[in-house]
Amino acid sequence: MTSIVTVDVAGGQMGGAARFRAELSGYLARTKRSDVRIIGAGRRVDPAWLLRRELTVPTRGRRVALNNVSFIAPGTERWTLLRNPLDFLTEHEQSDLEQSVRAATKRRAPVVHAAARRAHVLVVPSTAMAERVTAVLPSVRDRVVVRPHPVSADSIPRIPRRPVILCPVLFSPYKGMTDRLTELIRAMDEVVDPSVRLLVTATATEAPAAIARDPRVDLVGRLDHRDLRQLWASSQAIYFPPGIESFGYPLAEARVSGHPVIARDTAQNREIAGEALCGFTPGDAASLQNATKLALTGEILPDPTPFDPDAYFTWLLGAPQ
């Protein structure tokens, strides 16, 4: 009898969560696996959904939660993908959050932590995220496995590139994007030809007026992966400045596609971006200027090997039955 693998995909519809689901959909379409059951598509992760899935999902077979909240009912394998760093912040990081974000995190994190203790395997996408999880939940250390998120080798087309820096970051209160974009615009004014443009995946209502009016900046709005990949392919470099991330899909996409990526010079970003990283230190104008010049003049070879989606999902879901 074939054992069914149940995968809960409820949760975020934008950003990294949506990007991960696109890779999962591609894998299932290629392999035509009949032993994988997807639940939660289009659903929010709320108490009603969590209760429903516990009552309706069979406890035989592997159960995989992609949304940080583990299955808890007794039974066979419970696997959980932990990829929200806000659930595992230090006290200092929490104190820097806006009040609304801090309050939401305090409500959600205890649920995530309690459910994580019930998981058999906790999958995290970076060494830094593993350290966050084990610092908060030391008892789960032997159940934490680091596996970088999947990225298809052909996810970004090969087309001629234009003098453009693309910033594919969703604006969130904790990411400090206003300051980071202001710093980059100043760096561009100092060291980059005036013809180089900055494309930002934000709307005019999200970006401050000073940035929206800047002659270098084009606001392209929030794009799904299909539309974004065309802009990405034609850009010379990528700008990804957030500091609190569990992975950072743009770092991996840059490495896979051979695009230089201007990002913080951290161990996590070096782990994910590899040779594609043009690192800088926030607040250090000279380091950002140097990183920007390097990104617009350097050549990076594509390196898709660490993110092979078939290897990832065969491991996460188990071999086809």
pLDDT tens figures, 275-311: 999 999 998 999 999 999 999 998 899 999 999 999 9
Q: Which class for 304: exposed (0-12), middle (13-18), buried (19 or more C-beta within 10 A)?
A: middle
φ and ψ at residue 74, rounded to 5 degrees: -60, 155
The token pair at 141 is 């250390």
The token pair at 26 is 């591609």
pLDDT band at 78 (very low <50, low <70, confident <90, very high): very high
CATH code, 5-152+308-317 = 3.40.50
Q: Tell me: the pLDDT tens digits for 146-175?
A: 999 999 999 888 899 999 999 998 777 767
Nearest to 261 by CA among 296, 304, 226, 234: 296
20-29, 114-123, 225-234: range with lowest mean pLDDT? 225-234
pLDDT at 123: 98
pLDDT at 99: 87
Portions of the chain given CATH number 3.40.50.2000: 162-303
What is the reported pTM?
Answer: 0.92
Q: Tell me: the pLDDT tens digits for 212-230?
A: 899 999 999 888 777 888 8
pLDDT at 223: 82
pLDDT at 92: 87
Mean pLDDT of 232-258: 95
pLDDT at 100: 84
* pLDDT higher than 80, residue 50: yes
pLDDT at 96: 81
φ and ψ at residue 317, rounded to 5 degrees: -95, -10
The CATH class of the 162-303 domain is: alpha beta
| Longest Cα separation, the chain | 66
* Beta-bridge mates of residue 78: 63
CB 200 within 8 A of CB 189: no
pLDDT at 1: 54
Q: Which class for 105: exposed (0-12), middle (13-18), buried (19 or more C-beta within 10 A)?
A: buried
